[in-house]
A and B are shown apart, each in its own frame.
Chain A
Amino acid sequence: MPVAGQVREERSVVPATLRRHELETALLEFSSQPAPRRPLWVRPDAGYPGRLDLEVVLEERLASAHASAPGPAKAPTADAPYGATRYDENAELLRLTGVTKRFPGVVALDSVSFDLRRGEVHAICGENGAGKSTLMKIISGQYLPDQGSIIYKGNECHFASSLEAQAAGIAIIHQELNLVPHLSVAENIFLAREPHRGIFVDRARLRADAQRCLDRLGVDIAPGTLVRTLSVAQRQMVEVAKALSLDAEVLIMDEPTSSLTETETSQLFKIIHELKRAGVGIIYISHRLDEMAEIVDRVTVMRDGRYVSTDVFRDTTIDKVVARMVGRSLEDKFPPRTSVPTEEVLLSVDRLTRTNVFSPVSFELRRGEILGFAGLMGAGRTEVARAIFGADLPDGGTVRLGNETLTIRSPIDAIRHGIAYLSEDRKANGLSVNMPVASNVTLAHVDAVSNRFGFIRFATEAAVAQRYIDTLGIRTPSVRQIARNLSGGNQQKVVISKWLFRDSRVLFFDEPTRGIDVGAKFAIYELLDKLAAQGIGVVMISSELPEILGMTDRVAVFHEGDLVTILETRQTSQEEIMHYASGRVGAQHASGA
C-alpha cells in the first residue's frame, strides 16, 4: 500500500488536462495494437506479447508525460485540507449544487450538493431510499433535476439523456444490469460503438478489443459467449468492462461488488486504482462499507434524500459513517440469536440430483434452525434450492418434510406443503413490478384475503399489507403504490412479506440482503432469527461469509455443484469455509498424504 501510494503521489503531479489527453492517446494507440492473444502462427517471431496490455501502455504514457510535464505542475502541499496526496486538489470535475428531484408522493432529493475531483474515489453512502440512485440517475442524464445546477468540467450541463452524458464522458455501471442477453459479450461491450469496416462490423477487431477489456479485468470469459449463458457475477464483470471501454472521465459504480466473489472484487479494486491514477473521477456506491477502506478517498453520506456530510475517508470511521447513515449508532451488525434449533428433522433431502447442474445433494434441516448455504457464485446453491421448491425439476432424489415424502412438480406443490423460496433476483423472479404493494404481498396467498367465491376483500388485503409495511418498516406512500416505484431494499421487504403472509414451514432465502443497507440488513437478520424461533426451518443462501457466520447454526458449503461438507457454524471460521468453497480440499488432502 505505501509503495503504491508513493507512485500515485508522483502521478498526481501531472496536470489533469495533459493526463486526459495522454490517456486518450494511449487508448487510441492501444486499440491499434495487435491483439494480446493473437495466435502464434500469425507472426511466429513475435511470440506471446507478455505484459503488453493497457496497463503497460498507460504507465509508459503517463511516465513520459510526467517527465516532459511543463514546469508549473504543483506538488501537493502539506497543509492541504484533505488527503492531498491521493488526488489533484484543484481539478474539480463535477459539482452539483442544491439538486432537488420530486416524484409523485416523494421528494427523492432535497437540495443535495456534491462534488467530485479528478482521480478520486468518492463514495456515497445511505440507506435504501436515501436518494443515492436518484442522484446517480441525475448525474448520468437519466433524470433532469427539478432544481439545482450541475457543473461538469466548468460548464453548466443539462444532459437530456444518458447518451448525452455518456458522450460527455460520464459512464454508469448499473446495479440492475443492462445487458442484451442474446448478444455476445463483445457485442455488448461495444454496443452501438462497434468498430466497422465499411458498412460491416469488424468482427475480428470487435472480438480483440473486447478480449483486451476483459483481460484488463482479469476475467476469464470468452468474448464470443452469449450474455444469457453467463452468471450474474460474470455479467457484472462484463458491465464493468463495458464502462471501462467507454473511456470515461466520471465513472459511476452502483453496487459494483454486490454479486462479485472476493477474487473478482480485488480485481475490480486494482482496476479502480489504475483509473484513479489516470485521473478518472469515480463515484462509488456500496453497502459494503468494510471494503471501501481500500479504495475510497472521500465519503458523502445521505439520508432521506438529504445531504448529511462529506468526509475524507481516512479521517473518519466506518462506525461514524454508519451512525450518520441511520441517524443513530449501530450496536452490532448482527442481532443476538434467540432461536435454538431443535433435534426434530423438518426437511430432509436425500440424493437430490439435477444432471449437469449439481451432483446428488443430501442434507437435513431441523426445526428452528438456520442453515447457511455458502459457496462461490455458480456453486449450485441457488439451483438446489430451486429444485427443492419445484422451480426447476430435479432428475432424482427425494425430499421429505416431516414424515411425508413430497412429490413436487411445480412451485404450487411446494407452496402447498409450506416451502417458500425468495429469489436472489427480485426484479426478474420475485416482484410483479406493475402491481401495487398490497397485491404483491398477498400474491402467494390471495385466497386468504378472498371470500369463498373468489372475490378479494380489499379492506382485509389493505390491512394485511399495512401490517407488513409497519412491522418490516417498508417505506411506501401507500399500500396502493406500484412496486416499481419502491427502492431496492423496500422491494425486497415486499417480497419477504409475501412469504411471511404465506405461513411457510421451510423458507429458502437466496441472498436476502444483497443490495440492502445496513439498517435494513439488521432488520432482516432479526426477522430470520424470529422465524427460526417460531420453529420454522430457514435456509440462508449467502455469499457474504460474515453473514453466514453471524446468523447460521450450521453451514453447508458448496463447490461446483457439490455439497462438500456441512460445518457447525460455532466451530468453523471464514478461512475454513473458504477453504472448502474454493475446492482446495482435494489438493490439501493429496499434499498432506
Chain B
Amino acid sequence: MSTVTRPSPSLANERRKDLIQKFAAFASLIVMILVFSSTSEAFHSVDNAMTVALQVTSIAYLGVAATCVIITGGIDLSVGSVLALSGVVAALAVKAGMPVTVGMLLGIVVGALCGAVNGLCVTRMRLPPFIATLGMMLVARGLALQITGARPVSGLGEAFGVLGNGSLFRIETIGADGFPDVTFPGIPYPVLLMIVIAVAVSIMLSRTTLGRHIYAVGSNAEAARLSGVNVARVTMFTYVLSGALAGVTGCVLMSRLLTAQPNEGVMYELDAIASAVIGGTSLMGGVGTISGTAIGAFVIGILRNGLNMNGVSSFIQQIIIGLVILGTVWIDQLRNRR
C-alpha cells in the first residue's frame, strides 16, 4: 500500500470549525446577555444572575437526562410528570415522619423506577420511545394527583427547604437592626448540584466505555449489537438515568417551594428537549454533548428571564422561544449541509 499521508492542518481546521460552532452558540448567549443588560437595569445584577441560575437548574437537570436519551435515538416525554410524582412521594414520606434525606432519596428511587419501566417498554416490549414515555407521562401524573388527592402537600418543615434554598459559602452578619446582612449570597445548592451532575454526565459520555456505547447505539444500533454492545442494557441505563434526574429535579423544585405540588412540571419535558436540541443534539441519535445542552438551557433561561424583566408577556415569550428553537435547529441544519 502506498504511504499514508496525514495532513494535520486539515484536522486542525476541522477542530477549529468545531470550536467555532460551539462558540457560535455561546456567543449568541453572550449577545443576549448584553442586550438584556442594556435594556433592563434589573437584569444586570448579581441577585438576578443567581435567580437565572436557579431557574435554569431544573431545565439543565432534565436537559442533561434528555441529551443521554436522545443520543441513543430515543426520547423521554415523561420527565415533567415523573418529577411531580417524585416530589410528592418525597414530601409525603417526610410528612409521614421519615428524615428528609431518606424521603428525597425515596423520591429519586421512584423516578428511577419510572425510568426503568420506560426502559423495559422500549427494550423488552419494543414500544417506540415516544409512545412508551407518553404513556408514562400520563400514568405518573395521574399517580401524583391520585396519592395527593390533587392537593399540594405543605407543612414540611425547615429541613425540607434546605436543598432548594440553601447555599454554600453564604456569608451574612447580623446587623445592628437585628436583620441579617448578606455580604455574599453564596452558591445555591441547586446550582452546585447542576454543575456536579453536568460534569459527571459529561465525563461519563465522553470518556467512559458506557458513554461510547451510548453514542454507538444511537449512531447505528444494529452495528452496535453486532459488535457485542448490550444495546438493551445501554438503552435501559439512559431511561433510568433520565427518571432519576427527573426525581432529583422534583425534589429540588418542591424543596424550593417548601410545598409539593402534584401539578408541578407540566411541559418541562419540552424545555428539556429544547435545551438539548438548541445545544446541537440530533434527534436522529448519535450526536450531542452536555456542554451544548448546558448552553441551550441557559439560552432558554436567560431568554425567559430577560423578557420578563423587559415586561414581555408570557404569551409573547412562548412565541419567541418557539421561534428560537426553530431558528437554531435550522442554522444547525445549514451548517451540517455540504
Chain A residues proximal to chain B, CB less than 8 Å: 103-106, 143, 327, 389, 391, 410-412, 414-416, 421, 423, 428-435, 439, 443-444, 446-447, 450, 453-456, 458, 469-470, 472-478, 480, 498, 519, 523
Contact = CB atoms under 8 A, between A and B. Distances in A.
A443 B220 CA distance: 12
Contacts of B223: 428-432, 443
Interface string B260-300: 00000000000000000000000000110000000000000
A478 B14 CA distance: 11
B2 interface: yes
A420 to B, nearest CB: 9
Contacts of A411: 225-228
12 contacts: A103-B338, A389-B226, A428-B223, A431-B223, A434-B218, A434-B286, A439-B215, A443-B227, A450-B209, A477-B10, A478-B6, A478-B11
B208 interface: yes
A85 B296 CA distance: 66
B212 to A, nearest CB: 5
B195 to A, nearest CB: 20
Given A434-B215, A458-B207, 14 more contacts: A391-B225, A410-B225, A414-B228, A421-B226, A429-B220, A432-B224, A443-B223, A444-B228, A453-B208, A454-B208, A454-B209, A456-B207, A477-B6, A523-B1
B1 to A, nearest CB: 3
B245 to A, nearest CB: 20
Contacts of B229: 412, 443
Interface residues of B, number: 34
A435 B215 contact: yes
A519 B2 CA distance: 10
Contacts of A478: 6, 8, 11
Nearest to A457: B207
B122 to A, nearest CB: 17
Nearest to B215: A435
A458 B207 CA distance: 8
A434 B225 contact: no
Contacts of B220: 428-429, 431-434
Interface string B1-22: 1101011101101100100000
A434 B287 contact: yes
A456 B210 CA distance: 10
Contact of B226 (A430, A470, A472): A430
Nearest to B15: A480
B181 interface: no
B207 A104 contact: no
Contact of B227 (A104, A434, A456, A498): A498
B208 A456 contact: yes
Nearest to B221: A432
A319 to B, nearest CB: 20
B219 A435 contact: yes
B338 A143 contact: yes
A446 B338 contact: no
B209 A446 contact: yes
B216 A432 contact: yes
Nearest to B338: A143
B304 interface: no
A523 B216 CA distance: 28
Nearest to A519: B1
Contacts of A428: 220, 222-223
B226 A104 contact: no
A192 to B, nearest CB: 21
